Copies of this chain bind each other. A is one copy, B any other.
Amino acid sequence: MTDVISTSRDADRFWSRIANELAQAIGQGVYAPGVRLPSEHSLAQQFGVNRHTIRRSLASLVQRGLVNASQGRGTFVASFAVELVLGKRTRHRHSLRHAGLRGALQVLKSALVEAGSDEAKALCVPEGSALLYLQVLGEGAGQPLHVSERFFPLPRFANLAQEVHNTGSISEAFARHGVADYLRQESRISARLPEKDVAELLAQSVSRPALLVTSVNVDTEGVPIEFSKAWFAGDRVTLTVNHHDS
Protein backbone atom coordinates (compact mmCIF):
# COMPACT_ATOMS: atom_id res chain seq x y z
CA MET A 1 0.00 0.00 0.00
CA THR A 2 1.40 3.33 -0.95
CA ASP A 3 0.79 4.74 2.45
CA VAL A 4 0.69 8.42 3.24
CA ILE A 5 4.24 9.26 4.10
CA SER A 6 3.60 12.81 5.16
CA THR A 7 0.72 15.22 4.91
CA SER A 8 2.88 17.68 3.02
CA ARG A 9 6.13 17.12 1.20
CA ASP A 10 7.95 19.37 3.66
CA ALA A 11 8.73 16.38 5.81
CA ASP A 12 12.30 16.28 4.55
CA ARG A 13 14.52 15.61 7.52
CA PHE A 14 13.54 15.82 11.16
CA TRP A 15 15.89 18.66 11.89
CA SER A 16 14.68 20.59 8.86
CA ARG A 17 11.04 20.04 9.70
CA ILE A 18 11.59 21.15 13.27
CA ALA A 19 13.60 24.17 12.13
CA ASN A 20 10.76 25.23 9.86
CA GLU A 21 8.22 24.71 12.57
CA LEU A 22 10.24 26.87 14.95
CA ALA A 23 10.81 29.48 12.23
CA GLN A 24 7.09 29.64 11.64
CA ALA A 25 6.42 29.96 15.35
CA ILE A 26 8.90 32.84 15.46
CA GLY A 27 7.29 34.44 12.43
CA GLN A 28 3.88 34.19 14.05
CA GLY A 29 5.21 35.75 17.21
CA VAL A 30 4.79 32.65 19.33
CA TYR A 31 8.39 33.41 20.20
CA ALA A 32 8.77 37.19 20.05
CA PRO A 33 12.02 39.05 19.30
CA GLY A 34 14.32 38.93 22.29
CA VAL A 35 12.49 36.04 23.89
CA ARG A 36 14.41 32.95 24.97
CA LEU A 37 13.50 29.72 23.25
CA PRO A 38 12.94 26.63 25.37
CA SER A 39 16.21 24.86 26.14
CA GLU A 40 17.56 22.29 23.72
CA HIS A 41 16.78 19.59 26.24
CA SER A 42 13.22 20.79 26.55
CA LEU A 43 12.73 21.12 22.78
CA ALA A 44 14.13 17.63 22.33
CA GLN A 45 11.45 16.30 24.65
CA GLN A 46 8.71 18.39 23.01
CA PHE A 47 9.54 17.09 19.56
CA GLY A 48 10.47 13.63 20.74
CA VAL A 49 13.91 13.62 19.21
CA ASN A 50 17.47 13.59 20.39
CA ARG A 51 19.01 16.80 21.61
CA HIS A 52 21.48 16.77 18.71
CA THR A 53 18.66 16.79 16.24
CA ILE A 54 17.33 19.91 17.94
CA ARG A 55 20.84 21.34 17.82
CA ARG A 56 20.91 20.79 14.09
CA SER A 57 17.60 22.64 13.78
CA LEU A 58 18.81 25.52 15.93
CA ALA A 59 22.06 25.70 13.97
CA SER A 60 19.92 26.24 10.89
CA LEU A 61 17.96 29.02 12.61
CA VAL A 62 21.16 30.69 13.81
CA GLN A 63 22.49 30.47 10.30
CA ARG A 64 19.31 32.02 8.94
CA GLY A 65 19.68 34.78 11.48
CA LEU A 66 16.39 34.06 13.22
CA VAL A 67 17.95 33.34 16.57
CA ASN A 68 21.21 33.84 18.45
CA ALA A 69 22.60 31.17 20.74
CA SER A 70 24.52 32.12 23.83
CA GLN A 71 26.34 29.56 25.86
CA GLY A 72 25.03 29.23 29.37
CA ARG A 73 22.15 31.60 28.77
CA GLY A 74 19.98 30.23 26.07
CA THR A 75 18.85 30.77 22.50
CA PHE A 76 17.12 34.03 21.69
CA VAL A 77 14.93 35.32 18.91
CA ALA A 78 16.38 38.12 16.71
CA SER A 79 15.08 41.41 14.84
CA PHE A 80 14.92 44.67 12.20
CA ALA A 81 15.89 47.10 9.07
CA VAL A 82 17.03 50.64 8.51
CA GLU A 83 17.77 52.52 5.34
CA LEU A 84 20.89 54.67 5.08
CA VAL A 85 21.82 57.03 2.29
CA LEU A 86 25.20 56.89 0.65
CA GLY A 87 25.97 59.98 -1.37
CA LYS A 88 28.47 62.68 -2.03
CA ARG A 89 27.54 64.24 1.28
CA THR A 90 27.02 61.27 3.57
CA ARG A 91 26.39 62.22 7.16
CA HIS A 92 25.41 59.58 9.62
CA ARG A 93 23.02 61.82 11.52
CA HIS A 94 21.20 63.00 8.44
CA SER A 95 20.83 59.49 7.12
CA LEU A 96 19.26 58.41 10.35
CA ARG A 97 17.05 61.44 10.62
CA HIS A 98 15.87 60.62 7.12
CA ALA A 99 15.00 57.16 8.34
CA GLY A 100 13.10 58.70 11.22
CA LEU A 101 15.62 57.61 13.79
CA ARG A 102 17.89 59.19 16.30
CA GLY A 103 21.36 57.89 16.78
CA ALA A 104 24.83 58.76 17.85
CA LEU A 105 28.37 57.71 17.24
CA GLN A 106 30.40 56.18 19.98
CA VAL A 107 34.19 56.10 19.95
CA LEU A 108 35.29 52.61 20.94
CA LYS A 109 39.01 53.01 20.37
CA SER A 110 41.33 55.86 19.68
CA ALA A 111 45.00 55.56 18.86
CA LEU A 112 47.96 56.95 16.98
CA VAL A 113 49.09 54.62 14.24
CA GLU A 114 51.41 54.56 11.28
CA ALA A 115 49.90 54.60 7.82
CA GLY A 116 49.81 51.20 6.15
CA SER A 117 49.86 50.93 2.38
CA ASP A 118 46.08 51.10 1.99
CA GLU A 119 45.65 54.11 4.24
CA ALA A 120 48.67 55.86 2.75
CA LYS A 121 47.36 55.44 -0.76
CA ALA A 122 43.85 56.56 0.10
CA LEU A 123 44.94 59.61 2.07
CA CYS A 124 47.80 60.51 -0.25
CA VAL A 125 50.41 60.47 2.47
CA PRO A 126 53.70 58.54 2.69
CA GLU A 127 53.58 55.10 4.26
CA GLY A 128 54.44 55.24 7.93
CA SER A 129 52.99 58.70 8.40
CA ALA A 130 51.31 59.31 11.72
CA LEU A 131 47.54 58.91 11.57
CA LEU A 132 44.73 59.18 14.03
CA TYR A 133 42.81 55.92 14.25
CA LEU A 134 39.28 55.71 15.56
CA GLN A 135 37.06 52.72 15.94
CA VAL A 136 33.52 54.00 15.94
CA LEU A 137 30.19 52.37 16.61
CA GLY A 138 27.09 53.84 15.01
CA GLU A 139 23.72 53.14 16.55
CA GLY A 140 20.17 53.74 15.52
CA ALA A 141 16.89 52.63 17.00
CA GLY A 142 18.86 51.42 19.99
CA GLN A 143 20.72 48.91 17.86
CA PRO A 144 24.22 48.89 16.41
CA LEU A 145 24.02 49.68 12.69
CA HIS A 146 27.64 49.98 11.74
CA VAL A 147 31.10 49.76 13.15
CA SER A 148 33.97 51.48 11.40
CA GLU A 149 37.69 51.95 11.44
CA ARG A 150 38.60 55.51 10.47
CA PHE A 151 41.95 57.04 9.69
CA PHE A 152 42.69 60.77 9.74
CA PRO A 153 45.88 62.59 8.72
CA LEU A 154 47.48 63.72 11.88
CA PRO A 155 48.94 67.10 12.30
CA ARG A 156 45.61 68.39 11.11
CA PHE A 157 43.11 66.44 13.20
CA ALA A 158 45.01 65.93 16.43
CA ASN A 159 42.05 66.59 18.67
CA LEU A 160 39.37 64.92 16.60
CA ALA A 161 38.86 61.93 18.88
CA GLN A 162 37.83 64.16 21.74
CA GLU A 163 35.49 66.16 19.52
CA VAL A 164 33.82 63.06 18.15
CA HIS A 165 33.43 61.81 21.67
CA ASN A 166 31.93 65.10 22.82
CA THR A 167 29.63 65.68 19.89
CA GLY A 168 28.81 62.12 18.86
CA SER A 169 29.23 63.21 15.28
CA ILE A 170 32.06 63.07 12.77
CA SER A 171 30.80 65.98 10.72
CA GLU A 172 30.46 68.15 13.81
CA ALA A 173 33.99 67.21 14.89
CA PHE A 174 35.24 68.11 11.43
CA ALA A 175 33.40 71.42 11.63
CA ARG A 176 35.19 72.23 14.87
CA HIS A 177 38.44 71.59 13.03
CA GLY A 178 37.57 74.13 10.42
CA VAL A 179 36.18 71.68 7.89
CA ALA A 180 32.72 73.05 7.33
CA ASP A 181 32.03 70.86 4.33
CA TYR A 182 33.47 67.72 2.81
CA LEU A 183 32.67 65.22 0.10
CA ARG A 184 32.82 61.50 -0.35
CA GLN A 185 35.09 60.56 -3.21
CA GLU A 186 34.46 56.89 -3.81
CA SER A 187 32.93 53.95 -2.01
CA ARG A 188 33.76 50.31 -2.49
CA ILE A 189 31.02 47.99 -1.39
CA SER A 190 31.14 44.30 -0.89
CA ALA A 191 29.08 41.68 0.84
CA ARG A 192 31.04 39.77 3.40
CA LEU A 193 30.54 37.56 6.34
CA PRO A 194 31.89 39.45 9.34
CA GLU A 195 34.66 38.18 11.59
CA LYS A 196 33.67 37.30 15.11
CA ASP A 197 34.74 40.62 16.66
CA VAL A 198 32.84 42.69 14.09
CA ALA A 199 29.82 40.43 14.37
CA GLU A 200 29.77 40.90 18.11
CA LEU A 201 29.93 44.68 17.82
CA LEU A 202 27.09 44.57 15.30
CA ALA A 203 25.18 42.16 17.52
CA GLN A 204 24.64 39.81 14.64
CA SER A 205 25.59 36.27 13.76
CA VAL A 206 28.86 35.59 11.92
CA SER A 207 26.79 33.70 9.39
CA ARG A 208 24.69 36.74 8.49
CA PRO A 209 25.96 38.98 5.71
CA ALA A 210 27.38 42.43 6.32
CA LEU A 211 28.11 45.26 3.94
CA LEU A 212 31.72 46.36 3.98
CA VAL A 213 32.04 49.91 2.71
CA THR A 214 35.45 51.46 2.28
CA SER A 215 35.50 55.12 1.40
CA VAL A 216 37.51 58.31 1.28
CA ASN A 217 36.27 61.75 2.29
CA VAL A 218 37.91 64.88 0.93
CA ASP A 219 37.57 68.52 1.92
CA THR A 220 36.36 71.19 -0.47
CA GLU A 221 39.93 71.58 -1.73
CA GLY A 222 40.00 67.92 -2.65
CA VAL A 223 42.44 67.02 0.10
CA PRO A 224 41.71 63.63 1.69
CA ILE A 225 40.71 64.00 5.30
CA GLU A 226 39.41 60.56 6.16
CA PHE A 227 39.74 56.96 5.09
CA SER A 228 37.24 54.56 6.52
CA LYS A 229 36.27 50.92 6.49
CA ALA A 230 32.75 50.54 7.75
CA TRP A 231 30.83 47.35 8.43
CA PHE A 232 27.06 47.65 8.20
CA ALA A 233 24.73 45.11 9.74
CA GLY A 234 23.30 43.52 6.63
CA ASP A 235 20.13 42.44 8.30
CA ARG A 236 19.26 45.87 9.55
CA VAL A 237 20.62 48.18 6.87
CA THR A 238 20.01 48.98 3.23
CA LEU A 239 22.33 51.46 1.56
CA THR A 240 20.88 53.81 -0.97
CA VAL A 241 23.22 55.33 -3.50
CA ASN A 242 22.09 58.62 -4.86
CA HIS A 243 23.74 59.06 -8.24
CA HIS A 244 22.44 62.49 -9.16
CA ASP A 245 23.09 63.45 -5.55
CA SER A 246 21.67 66.14 -3.36
Q: Which of A189, A191, A211 lies at the interface centre, i.e. has the most chain B CB atoms within 10 A of its CB?
A: A191
State in angstroms the CA–CA spacing of A210 and B211 once bound together: 10
Interface residues of A in 38-94 (CB under 8 A from B): 63-65, 83, 86-88
| Residues in chain B near residue A186, CB distance under 8 A | 240-244
Q: How many residues of A contact B (CB 8 A)?
A: 34
Max count, chain B CB within 10 A of own CB: residue among A83, A192, A211, A243: A243
The residue that A241 contacts in the complex, of B65, B83, B86, with Cβ under 8 A, is: B86
Tell me, yes or no, whether A193 is within 8 Å of chain B by CB. yes
Q: Is B87 touching A243 in the complex (CB atoms < 8 A)?
A: yes
Q: Which of B184, B188, B192 contacts A239 (CB 8 A)?
A: B188
**Is A129 interfacial (CB 8 A cutoff)?**
no
**Complex alpha-carbon distance, A186 and B239, angstroms:** 11
Which residues does chain B contribute within 8 Å of A193, judged by CB atoms? 64-65, 208-209
Residues of chain B within 8 A of A239, CB atoms compared? 188-190
Which residues of the partner chain B approach A241 to less than 8 Å between Cβ atoms?
Answer: 86, 186-189, 241
Residues of chain B lying within 8 A (CB to CB) of residue A86: 189, 241
A140 within 8 A of B: no
Q: Is the CB of B234 within 8 A of A192?
A: yes
Query: B211 near A190 (CB under 8 angstroms)?
Result: yes
A237, closest chain B residue (CB): B190
Chain A contacts to B: CB under 8 angstroms: 63-65, 83, 86-88, 183-193, 207-211, 232, 234, 237-245
Q: List 8 A-B contacts (CB under 8 A).
A: A65-B193, A88-B243, A184-B243, A187-B243, A189-B239, A191-B211, A191-B234, A192-B209
